[in-house]
Structure 1
Amino acid sequence: LLLLIIIIFTATIIIISLLFEEVGSIIGKRGDHIKLIRDQSGAKINISDGSCPERIVTITGSIGTINKAFGMICAKLQQDLQALPNSIPKPPITMRLIVPATQCGCIIGKGGTKIKEIREATGASIQVASEMLPSSTERAVTISGSADSIVDCMRNICQILLEAPAKGNTLPYRPKPTFNPTLLASSAAAAAASLLQQQQQQQQQQQQHHQQQQQQQQQQSYATLINPLDVGLLSFIYLFF
């Protein structure tokens, strides 16, 4: 089970993009869990609509409220992992932070000193992608570890990004929408029904053709049997009279 979360930093606004399967767990039945996170953290949380595999979850607030909301989300994902059967290995939580490319150097630090410091202080694994994400000026920063280590790591990174704002205009990363599985299923069902109907029509035509051939053969057989009988009967009548 891979838990993937994408986070975008803009001042004190954090935009989290979760895989579609994870959103249901965060929202909860009838939205009960997301309401609990909003109430207890004090952060504003909005979840986008759409057909993308990843749904955009926007968390807005101070560093304290954002960290608290983020911590509750991590705790829920950790709980979901613990609920897996014992036969399934428990992987660490994996998150992808989407950071403007101009801020990535601040996370790495001169000669990689800053990122090494964060790793040692939090126990989380951090990797900064060398390439920008498609159609954007942002790069992915992948964080893996336990819920607590990721929350600590997030607190450090958030502080760094607030102290070193992005330079210039940032083209944000946006996941591309995928096909609608409902429409695809409907189209496939319609195509299957059409193919089945064609096959049935072909079978009916073959059966009708076969029946016609049988009728013609029967008629020919009757003609072959009747003609000699008729001739023999006429000859008998002629001789009798």
Structure 2
Amino acid sequence: MNWFSLLFQKGETVKKMREESGARINISEGNCPERIVTITGPTDAIFKAFAMIAYKFEEDITNSMSNSTATSKPPVTLRLVVPASQCGSLIGKGGSKIKEIRESTGAQVQVAGDMLPNSTERAVTISGTPDAIIQCVKQICVVMLESPPKGATIPYRPKPASTPVIFAGGQAYTIQGQYAIPHPDLTKLHQLAMQQTPFTPLGQTTPAFPGLDASPPASTHELTIPNDLIGCIIGRQGTKINEIRQMSGAQIKIANATEGSSERQITITGTPANISLAQYLINASSADPDPHGRNTFTA
């Protein structure tokens, strides 16, 4: 195992953990509520670093309870970042694998149904005692080693807040005030989408973002999705489809179900870049192992 990532609250000192575990521990930059901690090194060093983090969390929880009236100590909780293409193997057919991991380790494990913003990764939340978490992480590593990620992975990078996204000249930009700031992650995702999801425009309208001359005219594209997969695309209370709209910059309309039809029509409007990215994200969502669009997998 060469690397593993988890979501980690900022401000944690890791110098001692690096020295004692022998693993390389890097913390992502940025003024965000969450920071990505990437652990690299031999398998044993990675597990030792995980153990030190888990025990440090338990120590912090114990110290915080000394000034609290609470009678029960909450469990230690870590959030792992896992490529979405590997989550099916982690869950197993009918949830069999994740149930086995829960029962054998005593840890609670939940796999998010939606991908993390602007990425092709999903969060796996683990709760329990430090020992249970360590054993759980080991089993998850085994599953990931046996089932490598498929296709390109766009890593999750926490952002302070959501910002509008536009595409021009093959690049993605986020709008901050009066300026368009290049966004490398979304540019990579856009390039991947343009390679894998070609389309034929059905109509032409005015430019979607007239302030950028490099943006081609807006077009309309239609596709059909089986009814039993539409929940994956919409998500709980529309969260997933809204995320796709925001990430792609496209307008997306899902037709109402028609009696006797096993499919639903989706209409996508935007620039070719918007449409290709929206198609890519829709296809990725429809491949979710949970066909009902639930947000988490629980026992």
Is the TM value for this pair above 0.5?
yes
Quick check: 1:171 aligned with 2:161? no
Counterpart residue type for residue 140 of structure 1: A
Instruction: Say which of 126, 129, 145 aligns to 2:109.
Output: 126
Instruction: Say which of 69, 73, 78 aligns to 1:95.
Output: 78
Contact 2:7 2:80 in 1 (8 A): no
Structure 2 counterpart SS, 1:67: helix
Partners in 2 of 1:67 and 1:146 — Cα distance? 15
Counterpart residue type for residue 88 of structure 2: G
Contact 2:7 2:78 in 1 (8 A): no
Q: Which runs of 5+ in 2 are unaligned?
A: 163-299
Trace 1:213-224 onto structure 2 (pairs within 5 A): none
Instruction: Say which of 74, 78, 94 aligns to 1:111.
Output: 94
- What is the match of residue 23 of structure 2? 43
Partners in 1 of 2:114 and 2:59 — Cα distance? 33
Question: Which deviates further from its counterpart, 98-107 or 48-57?
Answer: 48-57
Partners in 1 of 2:7 and 2:95 — Cα distance? 27
Cα offset, 1:160, TM superposition: 0.9
Greater helix proportion: 1
Partners in 1 of 2:49 and 2:101 — Cα distance? 21
Greater strand proportion: 2
Cα offset, 1:106, TM superposition: 0.8
- Higher RCO, 1 vs 2 (CA within 8 Å, ≥6 residues apart): 1
Partners in 2 of 1:49 and 1:173 — Cα distance? 13
* Distance of aligned partners of 1:56 and 1:129 in 2 relative to their CA distance in 1, 3 Å threshold: closer
Partners in 1 of 2:113 and 2:29 — Cα distance? 30
Quick check: 1:151 aligned with 2:134? yes
Contact 1:12 1:162 in 2 (8 A): no
Partners in 2 of 1:18 and 1:40 — Cα distance? 19
Counterpart residue type for residue 17 of structure 2: I
Question: Which deviates further from its counterpart, 90-99 or 161-170?
Answer: 90-99
- What is the match of residue 18 of structure 1? 8
TM-score after normalising by structure 2: 0.50
Cα offset, 1:90, TM superposition: 1.9
Counterpart residue type for residue 42 of structure 1: G
TM-score after normalising by structure 1: 0.62
Counterpart residue type for residue 129 of structure 2: S
Contact 2:81 2:124 in 1 (8 A): yes
Cα offset, 1:137, TM superposition: 1.2
Partners in 1 of 2:122 and 2:38 — Cα distance? 18
Quick check: 1:60 aligned with 2:40? yes
Structure 2 counterpart SS, 1:131: coil
Q: Which runs of 5+ in 1 are unaligned?
A: 1-10, 28-33, 180-241
Counterpart residue type for residue 19 of structure 1: Q
Cα offset, 1:123, TM superposition: 0.1
Cα offset, 1:145, TM superposition: 0.8
Partners in 2 of 1:159 and 1:74 — Cα distance? 19
Partners in 2 of 1:40 and 1:98 — Cα distance? 24
- What is the match of residue 76 of structure 1? 56
Structure 1 counterpart SS, 2:125: strand
For the aligned residue pairs, the C-alpha RMSD in angstroms reads 1.8
Partners in 2 of 1:98 and 1:51 — Cα distance? 19
Encode CA deviations 1:138-163: one digit per residue, 9 max, x unaligned.
11211111111111100100111112
Contact 1:138 1:173 in 2 (8 A): yes
Large movers: runs of 4+ above 6 Å: none
Larger radius of gyration, structure 1 or 2? 1
